[in-house]
Amino acid sequence: MVMTSENLQLHTEEAIALLKGLIELPSFSREETQTAALISDFFTGKNIPFQTKKNNIWAYNRHFDESKPTILLNSHHDTVKPNKSWTLDPFKAITDDEKLYGLGSNDAGGCLVSLIATFCHFYNRKDLSYNLVMAATAEEEISGKDGLEIVIPELPEISFAIVGEPTEMNLAVAEKGLLVLDCTAKGKSGHAAREEGENAIYKALKDIQWISGFSFPKVSPTLGPIKMSVTIINAGTQHNVVPDACTFTIDVRVTEQYSLEEVIEVIQSNIQSEVSARSIRLRPSSIPMEHPIVQEGLKLGRAAYGSPTTSDQALLDCPSLKMGPGHSARSHSADEFIYLREIEEGIAQYIKMLERVIAG
């Protein structure tokens, strides 16, 4: 079924109305009950059956066929908390100069409603060579364990996924994984006025110096090098006591060239401090450039790139493409907004790309 301008206009109007409703319901991570209910009501109004688990909602196309491969369409409906620089009401959907303002409008409400509109467009189709599942999930902003991670086991095997995040509808064909490492340098306390103790800060500084100067030899062709940043450091109790411990945190953005375990092993073997990983869940992800969905995006003139930021894509074991309307620079910013035309363009591009891959 060819998408007409009338159909696109209807999809866009419904998507914008849903987005306005989402903006006006606070949905901080782990507090998404109201937006989960609104999305559920939207599907009910469309006579689309759905399933829920905690604050996650997912639905299958009407003619789901277990013999066919399945595509996952996913984006999140939780938001960060508004920063103090907002001049507008973050929970009021305000339209001005073709912009829609409100918390979560850009990250990732515009992506979410555009994917839902795309799912609805294909929902009744009998001629699809793939199944579709639309998942609106929670806790993405905090990499929580009660979001997409608890939905995945409920789904059939996924052939590939489109993850909605603001990329200006360009194709993030790879995404860095994330390691957060808590490190402890241990010394021996003593009086600062005498030659006593072993200063844990000095030991930590030696390790931090190695971290700042080391480069992992293998470089990703799409994501570039692994990036390590020491972002937190704490030590000492008072000025006249040599500290016996110094803790620091390393933010490590990992590429597909190394497993998370390999990165930890390299770091631990080169520093004296004890290293503890908070999680090894957020792995690098990618999709081959020759994949049909990527090729269709390229035919539409979209650019392919590697993304340095982490999303729920890190939880998927299948090939996945990160793509959506909006601009990453607006995410988490004061007076966040998305252009209304970006939603229409996003829906149109999602549909065109999928039509060429899954129809017939």
Residues 95-118 have pLDDT tens digits of 998 999 999 999 999 999 999 999
Quick one: 67 and 216 in the same domain? no
Instruction: Return the pLDDT at 1.
Output: 57
Q: What is the DSSP letter of 258?
A: S
pLDDT-above-90 percentage for the chain: 94
What confidence tens digit (pLDDT) does each residue in 24-44 have?
999 999 999 999 999 999 999
Quick one: 298 and 240 in the same domain? no
Quick one: 72 and 139 in the same domain? yes
What confidence tens digit (pLDDT) does each residue in 199-253 have?
999 999 999 999 999 999 999 999 999 999 999 999 999 999 999 999 999 999 9
Closest CA to 56 of 30, 17, 79: 30
Asked if residue 19 has pLDDT above 80, the reply is: yes
- Which domain covers residue 213, as residue numbers? 177-277
Cα 63-65-68 angle, rounded to 5 deg:
125
How many angstroms separate the Cα of 263 from the Cα of each of 63, 136, 223, 276, 330?
44, 32, 16, 12, 31
What confidence tens digit (pLDDT) does each residue in 281-335 have?
999 999 999 999 999 999 999 999 999 888 999 999 999 999 999 999 999 999 9
Pick from 252, 277, 302: which residue ends a domain? 277
Question: What is the pairing mode between strands 70-76 and 158-163?
Answer: parallel
CATH number of domain containing 246:
3.30.70.360
**pLDDT average, residue stretch 51-59:** 98
Quick one: 216 and 342 in the same domain? no
**pLDDT average, residue stretch 138-155:** 97
User: DSSP string of 88-112?
Assistant: S-TTS-EEETTEEESTTIIIIIHHH
User: DSSP string of 176-214?
Assistant: -EEEEEEEEEE-B-EETTTT-SB-HHHHHHHHHHHHHH-
Neighbouring CB atoms inside 10 A of 93's CB total: 19
Quick one: 182 and 164 in the same domain? no
**pLDDT average, residue stretch 140-166:** 97
Instruction: Return the pLDDT at 195.
Output: 85
Instruction: Return the pLDDT at 359.
Output: 80
Asked if residue 11 has pLDDT above 90, the reply is: yes
Quick one: 21 and 103 in the same domain? yes
Pick from 244, 277, 310: which residue ends a domain? 277
Quick one: 11 and 142 in the same domain? yes
Quick one: 39 and 120 in the same domain? yes
Domains: count for the chain: 2
CA 239 to chain centre: 43
Quick one: 214 and 226 in the same domain? yes
pLDDT-above-70 percentage for the chain: 99
**pLDDT average, residue stretch 67-87:** 97
Spatial contact of 141 and 80, defined as CB atoms under 8 Å apart: yes
Quick one: 170 and 295 in the same domain? yes
Asked if residue 360 has pLDDT above 70, the reply is: no
Quick one: 103 and 158 in the same domain? yes
Closest CA to 112 of 58, 178, 158: 58
Q: What is the DSSP letter of 278?
A: S
In what order do the strands lie in the sheet containing 99-101? 94-96, 99-101, 337-339
Quick one: 159 and 292 in the same domain? yes
CATH number of domain containing 114:
3.40.630.10
Spatial contact of 190 and 265, defined as CB atoms under 8 Å apart: no
